[in-house]
Structure 1
């Protein structure tokens, strides 16, 4: 019998090559609790830190992703660990890789490598996947680098989270100011990059890993990564989709209609996203953001290996559909269906 414990991020991840990934306040304990409550409501055996968890208290439903926290979950009977956290090569979870424990989520080495957006972009480019023009900028060269891309540009941290630290810059003076601001915070390390600003429509594509799924009460097997219907983003702020901790995604996002989904450029964008997922050999859903140029051609500009999995499992969280859940609803899944299908891909 599956006995599931959900993990959350207890502390900031280690600095790697001078690059720091910022930590979400609460370490995804909010979405972790959403997941645990929804599975519990639907009859899945959920292991929690407390015998009578409070629906209003996120931390009553999730375990910290420390060695002690993971061991406590296992001691309480968990045999499936849901990795709703940020992983890295030396993450404590590696001490629990054995035949008796199953996992939902990515492998730590995959996340450690490709959470670096510059490395990811190099992989995509090498495999003929369309990305915007990009340029690497380090802190030590911030006063004397030569731009190879025209304005406007998008400035991004190498290991960012959501839209944090991301800004559109219109000229060199503005870029210099934003770079100084970015590096002075010490939140994102000593490297960043800029990319070509694309003025067309933005979409988000969730790609599911290969495996066996239940869709409309039927079993379906996928031998390759496959995508849920694309979601378009609207109501950008200064050219950037706002962080969902500030604006709920249901307020600025909706699934494309069938005519839009059948358009050649959308079909091609989804194929490129699936190709990227296949290169990464994903074990759980990833979310890929794409944006079109003036001609309507889409470019992949952000691969998120830990997409948000919030959902309306509790009364005070009814507006918390994630982008992935919006897409899942378009194929007939509710929140439990999405989570249950993720659970079926345990490894």
Structure 2
């Protein structure tokens, strides 16, 4: 197996059509360090910026996703680049000239397109998938629109539940929009989404490929779902951002008897179809919630699921939603990472940069 280097987000992504994607403090260096540490513990050769990385120091384990960071990792012998970062058109990875390198992660051009949650949900809905209704709203003209309360107000290029709030009436909506306008944290527009009152689940979708499941090699010809994870203990009807409340405190994988529920099966099939339509190259995470009729609707698709995991000192409660889901098929955190690593893919150089073979 080739040596692996894990990369973190070293700078904020560009503003796209007036919409901002907030920069996460640390740039996912915490989950990057979890990944690198767990891979090394599994016997994988891992390149690190320092010779003897400290398990308690995130930056000892990860490289910045910059031209200098990629060069340093390549010179350290890494030939698999794990892109645990936010990708976009013009990202430094697109200009690499290493024909012998494989990648774990998505294509930058696809991430930038799909990170627009409004357009992605619209595309999925247009293709017949069950998706929550939403409206694109500019901060400057929201009062001219006929918005029905209660509604979910959320960033268009957000991260998980960060910035997501419920506006139960026009008064709350006005106060929320005034706060957004003053901070300009998310840009000049937002999504107003129908409020779904029922149970919430999150579904991790894996790309097509060959996997080892319960001791057997299994070939998946299309995107496939891990068992859903139920979310509970919401705050004001919103699952709290994992940077505030660890998901291990409010999430549990569905048990075998629950997986047979018709509504759950339909949600899993819809998420698998979404993964196939998007031609994913690495895991994605889709949040779903029941409407008043008990049907699960897709409402938030994340091209880069959080991949924190237990292993390093003080990280025992840092399982991610995808890690919790993986336990439903008998995988621990290391098994999930090995499954992701096995799907590493190659890019080829073209006049437009790198493209998948």
What range describes the TM-score normalised by the shorter chain of this pair? over 0.9
- Residues 1:218 and 2:216 are matched in the alignment: yes
Q: CA deviation at 1:100?
A: 0.5
Q: Are the aligned partners of 1:235 and 1:241 in contact in 2 as well (CA < 8 Å)?
A: yes
Q: Are the aligned partners of 2:254 and 2:328 in contact in 1 as well (CA < 8 Å)?
A: no
- Tell me which residue corresponds to 2:331: 333
Q: Are the aligned partners of 1:129 and 1:272 in contact in 2 as well (CA < 8 Å)?
A: yes
- Residues 1:203 and 2:207 are matched in the alignment: no
Note the alpha carbon deviations across 1:228-272, whole angstroms, 9 max, x for none: 000000000000000111111111000112221100000000000
Q: How far apart in 2 are the matches of 1:36 and 1:331?
A: 23
Q: How far apart in 2 are the matches of 1:132 and 1:43?
A: 43
Task: Please give the secondary structure, in 2, of the residue aligned with 1:317.
Answer: coil
Q: How far apart in 2 are the matches of 1:99 and 1:218?
A: 32
2:302 to 301, 304, 307: 304
- Residues 1:96 and 2:96 are matched in the alignment: yes
| Structure 2 residue ranges without an equivalent (≥5) | 346-357
Q: CA deviation at 1:216?
A: 1.1
Q: CA deviation at 1:97?
A: 5.7
1:253 to 251, 254, 268: 251
Note the alpha carbon deviations across 1:182-213, whole angstroms, 9 max, x for none: 12211101010111100100000000000000
- Tell me which residue corresponds to 2:120: 120
Task: Please give the secondary structure, in 2, of the residue aligned with 1:6.
Answer: strand
- Residues 1:235 and 2:233 are matched in the alignment: yes
Q: Are the aligned partners of 1:165 and 1:182 in contact in 2 as well (CA < 8 Å)?
A: no
- Tell me which residue corresponds to 1:278: 276
Task: Please give the secondary structure, in 2, of the residue aligned with 1:168.
Answer: strand
- Residues 1:69 and 2:69 are matched in the alignment: yes
Q: How far apart in 2 are the matches of 1:201 and 1:118?
A: 22
Q: CA deviation at 1:292?
A: 0.1
- TM-score for both structures, normalised by structure 2: 0.95
- Tell me which residue corresponds to 1:18: 18
Q: How far apart in 2 are the matches of 1:185 and 1:66?
A: 28
- Residues 1:108 and 2:94 are matched in the alignment: no
1:292 to 290, 311, 314: 290
- Tell me which residue corresponds to 2:180: 182
- TM-score for both structures, normalised by structure 1: 0.98
| Structure 1 residue ranges without an equivalent (≥5) | none
Q: Which moved more, 1:310-319 or 1:80-89?
A: 310-319
Task: Please give the secondary structure, in 1, of the residue aligned with 2:78.
Answer: coil
- Residues 1:43 and 2:22 are matched in the alignment: no
Q: How far apart in 2 are the matches of 1:184 and 1:280?
A: 35
Q: Are the aligned partners of 2:255 and 2:328 in contact in 1 as well (CA < 8 Å)?
A: no
- Residues 1:318 and 2:340 are matched in the alignment: no
Q: CA deviation at 1:89?
A: 0.8
Q: Are the aligned partners of 2:65 and 2:85 in contact in 1 as well (CA < 8 Å)?
A: yes
Task: Please give the secondary structure, in 1, of the residue aligned with 2:203.
Answer: strand
Q: CA deviation at 1:315?
A: 2.2
Q: CA deviation at 1:130?
A: 1.1
Q: Over the residues paired in the alignment, what is the CA RMSD in angstroms?
A: 0.9
Change (3 A) 1:75 1:159: same
